[in-house]
């Protein structure tokens, strides 16, 4: 039983990494496309920069992924079937 849970956890971990890597490729292609636009072509907002930061898109997305997983792990509340099986009064 424990072996099956470990296999499932490893498969989910691999899928999560694959999603992050795929998203990184998409975002990097968008960054390269915007880099080809001439300066002054459009107005820069607070969320845009004139030069690339010192971290790669892939590493940045991996950090976001890890923070979201950690927050979900510590903030989610799980209830067993007995909790949901309790009868409720009709409204």
Domain count, the chain: 1
Indicate whether 82 belongs to any domain. no
CA distance 16 to 35: 28
Segment 24-74, tens digit of pLDDT:
999 889 888 877 777 666 677 777 777 778 898 889 998 998 899 888 888
Nearest one of 65, 67, 63, 68 to 53, comparing CA atoms? 63
Indicate whether 13 belongs to any domain. yes
pLDDT confidence of residue 91: 47
CA distance 54 to 14: 26
Q: Which 3 state secondary structure label does DSSP give 54?
A: coil
Indicate whether 61 belongs to any domain. yes
Per the document, the length of the chain is 91
pLDDT confidence of residue 4: 56
């Amino acid at each position: 039983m424990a072996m099956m849970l470990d296999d499932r956890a490893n498969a989910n971990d691999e899928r999560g990494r694959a999603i992050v890597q795929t998203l990184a490729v998409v975002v990097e292609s968008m960054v390269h496309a915007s880099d080809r636009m001439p300066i002054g072509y459009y107005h820069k907002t607070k969320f845009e920069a004139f030069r690339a930061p010192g971290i790669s898109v892939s590493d940045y997305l991996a950090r976001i992924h890890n923070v979201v997983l950690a927050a979900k792990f510590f903030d989610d509340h799980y209830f067993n079937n007995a909790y949901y099986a309790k009868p409720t009064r009709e409204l």
